[in-house]
Each structure stands twice: as C-alpha cells, then as structure tokens.
C-alpha cells in the first residue's frame, strides 16, 4: 500500500487571489479533472460564517458544498477548510453519504486549545478531521509536544505540518516530523503543506515522502500550477509527476495537464503568484505575505529596506499584518526628519518665480521630444526630469526619490555631472557636499493615505509649491498601462493593476491641485496624459 497521498487545495488556497470567486464552470471543471487524475483528496473551499455565494468556493455548511461534489467521486475524498476565527462549528451539519468527507480545522497558536474542542465536535458530526496548526515553526519543541498530547485525546484523522511562511529547510522539516511522529497517536496520518517563498516546496515535499516511508501514512498538499498567495505552493503537477515517475503511483498526468490548459491561463489573467525576491525575504523572516504585498507597492523601497522593516517590527508582529505599523516603520526608515531649509532657500533663489517644465519618465517624453524642445525654446523654463536623464533634452535638475531608479543612474558619469534634487530617503552624506546635490525632506513631500504615496511626480509638484514658481508644464506624465510604462525600455516595469494605480495617481494629483498654496499658478500638459481631465474639471 502506498504510504503517501496527495491533496489538491487549488480551490481553497488559490481562492485567496481572486476573492474566492472561480465561477461555477471553472470549479466544476477543476474538480472533474482532479477526480479523473485520481487525486486522493480534493479540497473544494472554505467553511465560513459569511462570504458564500454562487461561483465562490466558500460554504456555510456541508450541504451548501454538495452542489460541487460529483456523483461519481471515484476513490477521491472531499475536504474543506474551516478557520477557527471565521467559522462557528454550530453551523456545521451532520455528515451524510452525499456530503464532504473531511474538515480541516486551522488555527493560530494562541487558539490551539480552543480549536481542539472544535476538532472534537467535527469528528462527532461524522467527518474526518484534520488538525492544521498555522506556522508550525512558531512552536517550541515543548509546546508542540504538549499540544500533541491534547490532540491525541481526540485521535484525529490527520495532523498537518504547515509551513505557513515558506521558511522551512530540510533540517527543519526532519526535526518537526520526528517530534510529531514520535508523540502522535499511531492511527493519525501526518500532512505537509508548504509555501514556495524559497523555491523549496517541491523539493521539501519529495523529502517529506522519502523521510516518512515506513514510518507513517502521510498526505502532501499541492495546488495546480502552485497557485496561492505570494510565492504560491507546491505545484500539484510537480509532486504528482515525482510520485508517478519515481514511486509508481497511478495519477493521471494528462488529466492534470488538461486542467492547466483549460483553466489556469484564464485564472492567471486575473491575478499573479510565484517566486520573487520580496517573497524570499518573507520566507527568511517568517512574515505574512500581506506585509510584502503592502511594502512592494512603495516605489522608493529596496529589497534590503523590506528586510530591515520586517526585522524592525519583530517576529510576532510580522506574522500578521498591521498596515499602520508598516507605514510608520517605513517612514522612520527613510530618516527624513532633516532640516532642509537651506536647500529650499537655494532652490527658491534659483527657480522661484520662473516657469518650470517637469519631464516625467513616461513614453510620451520620447514620442513628443520635438514638441518638448519647441516648448523649451519658446518659454525658457527650468527643466526638471523625474528619476531619469533624457538623452536628447538637457535638464537643469534631475529630481529623484525612487530608490531603484537612483541606483540605476548613480554610476552614470552624465548623472554625476547633473544638478540633482534628492529626497532625503536617497541622500548619502558624501553626496550632500558635492556642489551639485540639494537634499529635501522626504516626509515634508509625502502625504499618507494612498498606497503609492511616494509617486515621484506628485512629490515634485508639492516641492515646487514650496518654491513659489511660476507656470508649471508637464510632459511624460502618462500613467500606467500593462506594458511599456517607462521612457527607457530597459527600466520598464510590469504593473499588476494599472487601472487602480492610475486611479490613485489621479486622486493624488487632484488633491495636490485642491490643496496647494498658490492656486493661481497655471498647470498644463504639453504631452498627452491620462490625468488631463483633472485640469479640465478646474478650468485651469
């Protein structure tokens, strides 16, 4: 008898990415494919007190979930996951021959003893019960052993090793398994649920199967294409292929590939997941993925800054997510409480009262170069480029508060010779006295309340408002599309939801227009922009 079995939780773990809405046909198609593939366990969604509805993998009880369970289940068992803090066991009905087979109860460490009672009641209602402690590495050996002793009293169907933050190495998995295997009641299976922050999920899942052979029946979790928040999970197709090719299991790989071909392309058009450096950092620090999602929205943040912030907020707080704490720590990191009065005085002397041309780094700054040069010849403005150097247009200043753009341009000899205005999150002490660099306070220019609060063009506009300049013309302030957002193709970046980002920039631009000190200063665009309507509505 095979000692290892495979559980696919695409419709549950993957659901986080799409607000738990797959659509009925997609849900039915994925389940049908997994049954055909002979996957041992199919997790079809969540039990929750609210949020359920047509096309969503969220259910009030077992009867609610029955609509997605096929009449011909083959040998597949069907599961759902119940989060201790989001589901009342009172809502769970008795198991019937048509209902789901198992409930997986997940919970945080501080909830563990109360969750045991839920597990007991789930079993009493006739279901197989999986005990799913969040963040197994967050338990000391002593805490884990004491908890297992309580778990043994109810003799669950399975006890799972959950690598919530994708932090495990092989040695960690081996140590935790041996503790659990030694102390857990022998009738109970052991599961493994991994996240791919350090690109180890597939390897660890293979190791888990090997290290448990002859010791315990085990269940390995996976999702189709590794679908899941952040870096994602163990890909079902990879671990299934290993089990087929090396261990002789009978999973139908063609059926799994049909699921990928038929459904995953459409799902990927709605969301994204997979390994990135920031998610690797989350794994290093055992940090909740939402912290990373929030911090990577900051244009002015480096990977090492994310590392610093996660370290700064501490081990317990980074396992959850507190956006206010992240925001405040981020601002503290910038060390921007500088006195920039001298720099502002110099800038005011040089450009106060003069017209200014801002050249933002959108593609129209290249497409309309001739028009921009004509404007400069006619109006003789102070030319300030934002986070880049134009290869055909001389700038009087380069303004920067974007750390990644700064690091890119810093080695350039051309950049070294330019007059620079740097926000204080970028300035290094050695550069302040080079005669070409003026440093202004980041904090005085940023305005909280938006995810992309450090948009460079908006911050430069706020700076100019302090300097009492004359007219302001803007070029290259294009906003974002799905590709080709930057004047330099080498520096173009993919924006996952450009519509939402553009909406936020429009809100910030509108806020600037409404709250600036000098409402008489004319602002205009000399290249096409998504944000022209903000000016038109004010008859500027």
**Number of domains into which the chain is organized:** 3
Contact between 40 and 6 (Cβ < 8 Å)? yes
Is 382 in the same domain as 467? yes
Residue located via tokens 């052979």: 213
Say whether both 74 and 213 belong to one domain. Answer: yes
Query: Are 358 and 214 contained in the same domain?
Result: no
Lowest-pLDDT range of 17-21, 278-282, 426-430, 524-528? 426-430
CB atoms within 10 A of CB 353: 10
Nearest to 221 by CA among 381, 8, 437: 8
Mean pLDDT, rounded, for 457-466: 96
> Can you read off the two tokens belonging to residue 262?
């038929």
CATH code of 68's domain: 3.20.20.70
Q: What is the pLDDT of residue 311?
A: 78
Residues in the chain: 540
Per-residue pLDDT, averaged over 114-129, amounts to 97
Weakest mean pLDDT among 64-68, 136-140, 226-230, 300-304: 300-304
Cα–chain-centroid distance for residue 162?
A: 19
Choosing from 221, 241, 268, the residue where a domain stops is 268
- Both 223 and 252 in one domain: the answer is yes
Residue 41: pLDDT above 90?
yes
Residues of the chain by 3-state class (helix, strand, coil), percent to 5: 45, 15, 40
Residue 379 burial class via C-beta count within 10 angstroms: exposed 0-12, middle 13-18, buried 19 and up: middle
Same domain, 528 and 401: yes
User: Does the pLDDT at position 518 exceed 90?
Assistant: no
Q: Could you tell me if 472 and 514 lie in one domain?
A: yes
In this structure, what are the phi and psi dihedrals at residue 60, rounded to the nearest 5 degrees? -80, -35
* 132 and 46 inside one domain: yes
194 three-class SS: strand
Residue-level pLDDT at 539: 47
300 and 165 in a common domain: no
Burial readout 268-291 (b: 16 or more C-beta within 10 A, e: otherwise): eeeeebebbebbbbbbbbbbbbbb
Are 411 and 520 found together in one domain?
A: yes
Predicted confidence at residue 40, as pLDDT, reads 98
Same domain membership, residue 145 and residue 263: yes
8-26 pLDDT, tens digit each: 999 999 999 999 999 999 9
pLDDT digits over 246-269, tens only? 999 999 999 999 999 999 999 999
Per-residue pLDDT at 428 exceeds 80: no
Q: Find the range with the poorest average confidence among 63-67, 302-306, 336-340.
A: 336-340
- For every residue of 478-535, DSSP letters joined together read ----SS--SSSGGG----S-HHHHHHHHHHHHHHHHHH-S-TTS-EEESS--TTHHHH
What Å distances lie between residue 110 and 85, 153, 343, CA to CA? Answer: 11, 19, 52
Range(s) of the domain holding residue 462? 341-536
Confirm if 1 and 249 have CB atoms less than 8 A apart.
no
Question: Three-class SS of residue 12?
Answer: helix
Q: Which of 216, 237, 268 is the last residue of a domain?
A: 268
Residues 493 and 442 in one domain: yes
pTM for the full predicted model? 0.69
Strand partners for 157: none
CA angle centred on 377, ends 371 and 382, rounded to 5°: 100
* Domain final residue, candidates 268, 298, 320: 268
Mean pLDDT value across residues 304-318? 80
Residue 325 and residue 352 in one domain: no
Measured between alpha carbons, how far is 150 from 56 in angstroms, rounded to an integer?
A: 35
Residue whose structure tokens are 């990135």 = 276
Q: Is the pLDDT of residue 1 over 70?
A: no
Q: Which residue has the higher pLDDT, 217 or 276?
A: 217
């Amino acid at each position: 008898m095979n000692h290892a079995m495979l559980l696919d939780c695409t419709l549950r773990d993957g659901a986080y990415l799409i607000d738990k809405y797959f659509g009925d046909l997609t849900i039915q198609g994925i389940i049908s494919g997994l049954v055909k593939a002979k996957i041992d366990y199919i997790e079809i969604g969540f039990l929750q007190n609210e949020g359920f509805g047509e096309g969503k993998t969220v259910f009030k009880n077992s009867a609610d979930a029955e609509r997605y369970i096929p009449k011909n289940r083959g040998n597949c068992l069907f599961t759902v996951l119940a989060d201790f803090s989001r589901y009342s066991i009172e809502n769970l009905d008795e198991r019937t021959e048509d209902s789901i087979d198992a409930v997986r109860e997940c919970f945080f460490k501080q909830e563990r003893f109360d969750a045991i009672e839920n597990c007991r009641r789930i079993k009493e209602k006739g279901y197989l019960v999986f005990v799913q402690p969040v963040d197994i590495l967050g338990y000391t050996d002593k805490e884990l052993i004491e908890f297992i002793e309580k778990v043994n009293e109810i003799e669950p169907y399975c006890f799972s090793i959950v690598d919530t933050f994708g932090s495990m190495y092989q040695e960690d998995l081996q140590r935790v398994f041996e503790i659990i295997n030694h102390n857990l009641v022998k009738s109970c299976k052991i599961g493994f649920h991994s996240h791919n922050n350090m690109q180890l999920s597939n390897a660890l899942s293979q190791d888990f199967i090997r290290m448990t052979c002859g010791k315990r029946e085990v269940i390995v979790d996976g999702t189709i294409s590794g679908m899941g928040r952040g870096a994602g999970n163990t890909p079902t197709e990879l671990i299934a292929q290993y089990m087929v090719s090396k261990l002789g299991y009978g999973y139908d790989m063609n059926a799994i590939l049909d699921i990928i071909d038929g459904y995953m392309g459409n799902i990927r058009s709605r969301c994204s997941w997979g390994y990135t450096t920031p998610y690797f950092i989350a794994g290093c620090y055992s940090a909740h993925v939402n912290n990373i999602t929030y911090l990577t929205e900051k244009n002015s943040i480096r990977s090492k800054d994310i590392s610093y912030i996660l370290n700064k907020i501490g081990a317990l707080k980074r396992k959850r997510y507190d956006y206010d704490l992240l925001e405040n720590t981020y601002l503290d990191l910038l060390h921007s409480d500088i006195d920039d009065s001298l720099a502002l005085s110099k800038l005011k002397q040089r450009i106060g009262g003069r017209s200014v041309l801002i050249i933002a780094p959108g593609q129209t700054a290249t497409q309309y170069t001739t028009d921009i040069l004509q404007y400069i010849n006619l109006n003789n403005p102070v030319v300030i480029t934002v986070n880049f150097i134009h290869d055909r247009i001389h700038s009087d200043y380069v303004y920067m508060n974007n750390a990644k753009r700064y690091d890119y341009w810093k080695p350039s000899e051309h950049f070294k010779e330019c007059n620079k205005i740097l926000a204080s999150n970028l300035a290094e002490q050695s550069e302040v006295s080079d005669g070409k660099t003026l440093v202004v306070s980041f904090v005085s220019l940023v305005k909280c309340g938006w995810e992309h609060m450090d948009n460079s063009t908006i911050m430069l506009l706020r700076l100019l408002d302090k300097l009492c300049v004359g007219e302001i013309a803007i070029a290259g302030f294009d906003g974002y599309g799905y590709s080709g957002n930057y004047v330099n193709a080498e520096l173009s970046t993919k924006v996952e939801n450009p519509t939402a980002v553009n909406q936020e920039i429009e809100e910030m631009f509108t806020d600037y227009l409404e709250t600036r000190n000098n409402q008489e200063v004319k602002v205009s665009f000399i290249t096409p922009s998504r944000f022209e309507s903000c000016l038109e509505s004010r008859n500027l």
